[in-house]
Chains A and B, each alone.
Chain A
Amino acid sequence: MTGPVLTAVDLRKGFGAGDRAMIALDGVSLQVGAGAVTGLIGPDGSGKTTFMRLAVGLLLPDAGRISCLGLDLSSQSGAVQGAVGYMPQRFGLYEDLSVRENLDLYADLQGLPLQERPERYAALLSMTGLGVVTGRLAGRLSGGMKQKLGLACTLLRPPRLLLLDEPTVGVDPLSRRELWRIVQGLVERERMSVLLSTAYLDEAERCADVILLHQGRVIGQGPPSSFSAPLRGRVFLVTGPTGQRRPLQARLSRQPGVRDALLQGDAVRVVTDSAEAPDCTPLGPSVSCAPAQPCFEDGFIDRLKPRTEQPADLQPLDRRRSAAPGATAAAIEVDHLSKRFGSFTAVDAVSFSVRAGEVFGLLGANGAGKTTTFRMLCGLLPPTSGRLSVAGVDLRRAPAAARARIGYMSQRFSLYAGLSVTQNLRFFGRAYGLGGRRLRQRIHWALGAFALADLADAESGTLSLGYRQRLAMASALLHAPDILFLDEPTSGVDPLARREFWGRINALAEGGITVLVTTHFMQEAEYCDRLAIMAAGALLAEGSPTQIREQVRAAPGAATGPVETLEDAFIALIQARPQTGTGDARPG
């Protein structure tokens, strides 16, 4: 079979009506080739899920045609559903059924004959590595194992076309690699065609063909190299004196002709407007510049980043006091901190300290214990044992006023969706004891600094993800805290908004604010001054990104592959751990 397995012509789909009407797909035409992995790439809300649902007949298009394996979806959706495998974003695993029972259910539903089951089960279980946990309830599996089980259920009767909707969301880097290995194995051995959607730009490189979706439109299709190729000669790595990368990045990004400047390890990755290296001479004597290989993300940014936008002005970050006295004093100190829920140990004797004015990252897969640690630091959870101090006090026992020195921004949007932007700001300002002229000043500052003035009266719940995140950060900074806690602040935010966000963090850190941030994006870890990697409640490594990479390289026989990125280091660290209590102990 050589023709396309999936064809869409001028596909349109909208939801809702009146004020809330939203166009999900706006004239999408594309073809998905056979026998390869095609990546459907785009930020959140770009229409990926809608397209997937149209492709299996769960939705009907408003206009345009879509056909799958030569069958038209509007009339033959039943036949299509029998021939394709579809794994929705939240795959329908029954969490109170065991792995085996879930497989049985989907085998019954897909009509897999009884006599073929033992063999098929064995193949799938060995492929996914779930063989040892067949009796475990699906709800007790880790995020990665759940996705693998979902995939196994979809593959019970090998489909000709496999549609995977963001299979790697919420999955730790190790499981993500395994999922990719499985998918690539299917394509190679069984000549399966796969359409896979993802918001991770680094995954694009693994696809044979990439479709870039943005705001309901296809803005490019081709092999990943076709996105990065035009940037050949425009990507450079600029290295400066150690510990000076952040100011270096700030200055580079303000330089004319620089399209994008991004921290990468100790260096700054620069994309220029034309094939000309950035001017390093005004940056200092020890600054050097070397050309680098363009990647998909460079291409993505180049295509989508607006050309005119000025970096947000964060200078008037009205601070009441300069950084905490003595720049080397520890802003956060954690000593043998443990937390147990019943017999489950979520955090196991973790110790680290964060210096004032530092950006400190807490890294780990879902369930590694980073959110629990984070919540203990904020005083939201009492520790089982150990000691911790934030700005010199334990927030759980400290008087309420001590909490006025910290700012907090949680994983999910945690402002009042029903309140308008200004109402939210006003409420949190008052809650922190601001009032009168000072409150008005601060709100004015927040609306300006976060470019929210136009949306001041909009209901927060209706804002796009990027704006919500700005609002959340504005609220957390309204009272000019000394320490800022950020729990997975960028999850679900598209790459452009993510960059802008980190721009602000950098500016804050330069202003002397201490920032503690948790993330599972390995790439973001590069932006931190220092970081701690957690797994199964324990601290695996601590240090600057470079130190951690060095540490992994130096460990005898630890790394089986090259250690170029933090992700490699992370995987090496996880694999080097003793096997007792593997990371699948607890979901979330």
Chain B
Amino acid sequence: MRAQASHRRLLGLLRKEWLQVLRDPSSIAIAFVLPVGLLLLFGYGVSLDARNLRIGLVIEQPSAEASDLVSGFRQSVYFEPRFFDSRQAARSALAQHAIDGFIVLPADFARRLQAADEVPAQAIVNGVDANSARLLSAYVQGVWSTWLQRELATRSSGPSEPVAAETRIWFNPELRSRNYLVPGLLVVNMTLVGALLTALVMAREWERGTLEALLVTPVTLREILLGKLLPYFALGMGGMALSVLMALTLFQVPLRGSFWVLVACSMLFLLAALGMGLLISIVTRNQFVAGMIALVTTFLPAFLLSGFLFDINSMPVVVQAITHLIAARYFVAILQTLFLAGDVWSLILPNAAALAIMAILFLGLSRRLLRKRLE
């Protein structure tokens, strides 16, 4: 009898929440429009794959070697070479940001190639954007050494490198940055959806005074929490499904792990994110403050401290310690593995366990801090 009454109360709360979601465009927007918008924005806006690098070439005196090298740059997919008459011209083009770097082949380039201990040519890159500059110089070196191999082979003389590194990149051999950025984006998305959604809806009940009327009915706190959790859990999973679909079709990210592991881990993460949102709104009781805190404590860390964009191992120790408190960190590791590597249990299980612990912690704290009183 009591179980039945409880059941009915919960159903009533769920129906109410669901009707509110349907009638309030903002929850739908947060759950579906926001992820799609962010995914498109980040998916297209954030890319670390350099293409069409504008490289300047200064050839002070044409020679066979020089034109061989130039054709190497012309054939490379990475470069868009431009020619300059003098170093001075190239230099000012670099200062104007018309080119990203330039290579000078001096008048005595052919002679220098033969001479010992002399640098035959020089490349200058704009180092302001260090990461792009590093990629640019790596590509330039790549063209150079390919050219050099051929050059040495035709002359079949001269020294070669004693050791050559032969690199194989696993999981993402063509190094598409989108393959690693998109799974990370899913995490940022879900963090935002989960935390923001619940942070706002619970605080809304406080603000509008509806919670005061709820609290004096026989409803239990467990029912109130479940009544909030379940609808937004469903909404969040819907948003997740949409995002995954976009990742697979629009951005062509491979899914090498199994679908059900993805579902299970997403559920764990979503619970943690919703729990965090609930906790925030129970503590703040104000939509504005809850929204602010949700953004500052979930969105920014998910973006910066989750390993989605920046390598965690290279951060200062203190910052690394902080990353352990961020649920997104574990989910980024899981998703990048699931999408690109497969079901690697040795990585998935510990991270999933961490997510489960966080979910339990946040939900438990929410339950403890929510009182049937107003203070």
**Interface residues, chain A, with chain B CB atoms under 8 Å away:** 53, 56-60, 77-78, 81-82, 84, 86-97, 101, 104-111, 137, 150, 153
- B289 to chain A minimum Cβ distance, whole angstroms, is 17
12 additional contacts, CB 8 Å, given A101-B15, A106-B217, A137-B23?
A53-B374, A57-B216, A58-B374, A59-B375, A77-B372, A90-B209, A91-B213, A92-B210, A96-B19, A109-B9, A109-B12, A109-B13
Within B346-375, the residues touching A (CB, 8 Å) are 372-375
Number of A-B contacts (CB under 8 A): 92
Contact A92 B9 (CB under 8 A): no
Q: Which one of A58, A110, A137 contacts B212 once the chains associate, using CB atoms below 8 Å?
A: A58
B218 CB-CB contact with A under 8 Å: yes
Which residue of chain B lies nearest to A91 when distances are taken between CB atoms in the complex? Answer: B213
Cα of A385 to Cα of B8 in the assembled complex, Å: 53
23 A-B pairs (CB sep. < 8 Å): A53-B374, A58-B212, A58-B215, A58-B373, A59-B375, A78-B218, A84-B216, A88-B213, A89-B209, A90-B212, A92-B212, A92-B213, A92-B214, A96-B20, A105-B16, A108-B11, A108-B13, A108-B15, A109-B12, A109-B214, A109-B217, A110-B218, A111-B9
B118 CB-CB contact with A under 8 Å: no
B211 CB-CB contact with A under 8 Å: yes
Contact A104 B374 (CB under 8 A): no
B174 CB-CB contact with A under 8 Å: no
Which residue of chain B lies nearest to A58 when distances are taken between CB atoms in the complex? Answer: B374
Q: What 1/0 mask marks residues of chain B from 303 to 342 whose CB sits below 8 Å from any chain A CB?
A: 0000000000000000000000000000000000000000
- B43 to chain A minimum Cβ distance, whole angstroms, is 33
Cα of A86 to Cα of B20 in the assembled complex, Å: 24
Contact B212 A108 (CB under 8 A): no
Q: A104-B15, A105-B16 are in contact. Are A56 and B210 (CB under 8 A)?
A: no
A105: chain B residues at CB < 8 Å are 12-13, 15-16
Q: A94-B16, A101-B19 are in contact. Are A58 and B11 (CB under 8 A)?
A: no
Cα of A101 to Cα of B13 in the assembled complex, Å: 11
- B219 to chain A minimum Cβ distance, whole angstroms, is 5
Contact B20 A94 (CB under 8 A): yes
- A363 to chain B minimum Cβ distance, whole angstroms, is 28
Q: A58-B215, A59-B373, A109-B9 are in contact. Are A97 and B210 (CB under 8 A)?
A: no
A88: chain B residues at CB < 8 Å are 209, 212-213
- B202 to chain A minimum Cβ distance, whole angstroms, is 14
Cα of A137 to Cα of B375 in the assembled complex, Å: 31
Within B124-178, the residues touching A (CB, 8 Å) are none
A60: chain B residues at CB < 8 Å are 373, 375
Cα of A95 to Cα of B19 in the assembled complex, Å: 11
Which residue of chain A lies nearest to B12 when distances are taken between CB atoms in the complex? Answer: A108
Which residue of chain A lies nearest to B375 when distances are taken between CB atoms in the complex? Answer: A59
B5 CB-CB contact with A under 8 Å: yes
Which residue of chain B lies nearest to A53 when distances are taken between CB atoms in the complex? Answer: B374
**Interface residues, chain B, with chain A CB atoms under 8 Å away:** 5, 8-9, 11-13, 15-16, 19-20, 23-24, 205, 208-219, 372-375
A97: chain B residues at CB < 8 Å are 16, 19-20, 23
Q: Which one of B205, B211, B219, B374 contacts A109 once the chains associate, using CB atoms below 8 Å?
A: B219
B375: chain A residues at CB < 8 Å are 59-60
- A71 to chain B minimum Cβ distance, whole angstroms, is 14
Cα of A59 to Cα of B212 in the assembled complex, Å: 11
Contact B218 A111 (CB under 8 A): yes
Q: Which one of B210, B217, B372 contacts A110 once the chains associate, using CB atoms below 8 Å?
A: B217
- A105 to chain B minimum Cβ distance, whole angstroms, is 5
A101: chain B residues at CB < 8 Å are 15-16, 19
Q: A81-B217, A82-B218, A86-B216 are in contact. Are A92 and B16 (CB under 8 A)?
A: no
Contact A109 B218 (CB under 8 A): yes
A53: chain B residues at CB < 8 Å are 374
Cα of A86 to Cα of B9 in the assembled complex, Å: 18
Which residue of chain A lies nearest to B223 when distances are taken between CB atoms in the complex? Answer: A109
A109: chain B residues at CB < 8 Å are 9, 12-13, 214, 217-219
A111: chain B residues at CB < 8 Å are 5, 8-9, 218
Contact A92 B13 (CB under 8 A): no
Contact A108 B8 (CB under 8 A): yes
Contact A92 B209 (CB under 8 A): yes
- A88 to chain B minimum Cβ distance, whole angstroms, is 5
Cα of A86 to Cα of B218 in the assembled complex, Å: 12
Cα of A172 to Cα of B219 in the assembled complex, Å: 33
Cα of A81 to Cα of B220 in the assembled complex, Å: 12
Contact B13 A94 (CB under 8 A): no
Contact A108 B374 (CB under 8 A): no
Which residue of chain B lies nearest to A87 when distances are taken between CB atoms in the complex? Answer: B213
- B79 to chain A minimum Cβ distance, whole angstroms, is 58
Cα of A107 to Cα of B12 in the assembled complex, Å: 8
B9: chain A residues at CB < 8 Å are 108-109, 111
Cα of A153 to Cα of B16 in the assembled complex, Å: 14
Cα of A578 to Cα of B252 in the assembled complex, Å: 66
Cα of A88 to Cα of B212 in the assembled complex, Å: 7
A81: chain B residues at CB < 8 Å are 215-218
- A465 to chain B minimum Cβ distance, whole angstroms, is 20
- A385 to chain B minimum Cβ distance, whole angstroms, is 33
Which residue of chain B lies nearest to A110 when distances are taken between CB atoms in the complex? Answer: B217
Which residue of chain A lies nearest to B14 when distances are taken between CB atoms in the complex? Answer: A108
Q: Which one of A91, A104, A106, A108 contacts B209 once the chains associate, using CB atoms below 8 Å?
A: A91
B209: chain A residues at CB < 8 Å are 88-92
Cα of A101 to Cα of B12 in the assembled complex, Å: 9
B373: chain A residues at CB < 8 Å are 57-60
B212: chain A residues at CB < 8 Å are 58, 88, 90, 92
Which residue of chain B lies nearest to A84 when distances are taken between CB atoms in the complex? Answer: B216
Contact A104 B20 (CB under 8 A): no
Cα of A5 to Cα of B309 in the assembled complex, Å: 65
- A248 to chain B minimum Cβ distance, whole angstroms, is 45
- B186 to chain A minimum Cβ distance, whole angstroms, is 30
A95: chain B residues at CB < 8 Å are 208
A87: chain B residues at CB < 8 Å are 213
A137: chain B residues at CB < 8 Å are 23
Q: A92-B208, A101-B19, A109-B9 are in contact. Are A58 and B216 (CB under 8 A)?
A: yes
Which residue of chain A lies nearest to B11 when distances are taken between CB atoms in the complex? Answer: A108
- A80 to chain B minimum Cβ distance, whole angstroms, is 9
Cα of A56 to Cα of B375 in the assembled complex, Å: 14
Task: Determine which residue in A60, A78, A110, A111 has the highest number of CB atoms from chain B within 10 A of its CB, and name it.
Answer: A111
B374: chain A residues at CB < 8 Å are 53, 58-59
A58: chain B residues at CB < 8 Å are 212, 215-216, 372-374
